[in-house]
Amino acid sequence: MVDVVIPVYRPDEKFNKLIDRLCRQTILPEKIILMYTITGLDEREPERFMKSVLARMNEHLDADNMLEIYSVNKNDFSHGKTRNAGISKCRSPYVLLLTQDAVPADSYLIENLLRMIDDYPDASQVYGRQITDTLAPDYLKYTQRFNYPAESMVKSAEDYDRLGIKTIFCSDVCCMYRRDVFDYIGGFEDVIFNEDMIFARKAIDAGYKICYAADACVVHYHKYSLKQQRKRNFDIAVSQKQHPDVFGDLSSEGEGGRMVKTVLGKLLKKRKFGQFFYYILLSFYKYTGYKLGKIYRILPKKLCAKLSLTPSYWE
């Protein structure tokens, strides 16, 4: 019923936990398809990787016919194109996209996602809730709670005036797609970032709905450095600038400002003064990265590569 597609590059312990949790789901995937980006350090690395993953999965179940791995050259990777290639290998009516560091919080992730998308036959996709663990700093906990609240929701074109850019907000960190709708919309575009939100806009404008399942949780967050955060927001702005048909009437700056005020207010209330001032600095780096991304067309390509979290995109 469900195939899982995961782009993988230099996997770590979080990926191992992800595989373990997938093998313990109440509804098991038909296939787990890994799009493995080659590092180039070892010509046998895809073979070694497959053996290690199979061994791990076989500790829980018979995985020989469940696991498929496809190699991706590093220069050929893109958020949209690589996921499209993985989904093209799927045969199930639903496809769950995960990132390699999105660890299911329990054994009910697939079950809860399926339940919600089945409740809404006119939904193109359902995305899950991203939560933090106890190691995350408070500002990241508050940020995740702002973006991924405890209440589920269903969004449609009727919500543009009320929710703005949040109408098309979703994340391929954890998102289940209805395969026939995915093909009908035309899959993901080959973009530097935001392939998920670009698809969501197309789906909503085609009359479909986007679901958010708050009970389908993955542990996922990034503690970016200041420079990494600036680079990430540069890429976000580039993708928005390249798609005025998607983002032109849905500004993200207002929503970003509301998040900053919310997080700072909570930090101040909790007397987390160190994180309060750090978050101000982090927000400044986010904002400068975003503004630079908006004017990327007048910047030299070499500078864009330095400012980007995906320098290979600019080659």
Question: Which of helix, strand or coil describes residue 55?
Answer: helix
pLDDT in tens, 205-251: 999 999 999 999 999 999 999 999 999 999 999 999 999 999 988 87
Dist CA 302 CA 315 (whole Å): 9
Retrieve residue 102's tokens: 């999105």
Handedness of CA 257, 262, 266, 268 (dihedral sign): positive
Q: Sort strands 67-72 and 174-178 into parallel, antiparallel or unpaired.
A: unpaired
Give mean pLDDT, residues 89-98: 97
Dist CA 144 CA 127 (whole Å): 14
The pLDDT, as a whole number, for residue 64 is 82
Task: pLDDT band for 255, please (50, 70, 90 cuts).
Answer: confident
Question: Which of helix, strand or coil describes residue 113?
Answer: helix
71: Cα separation from own chain's centroid: 21
DSSP lists the bridge partners of residue 68 as 33
Q: Which residue has the tokens 């973006």?
A: 147
Structural contact between residues 282 and 230, judged by C-beta atoms closer than 8 angstroms: no
pTM: 0.94
Q: Sort strands 2-8 and 31-37 into parallel, antiparallel or unpaired.
A: parallel
Task: pLDDT band for 41, please (50, 70, 90 cuts).
Answer: low
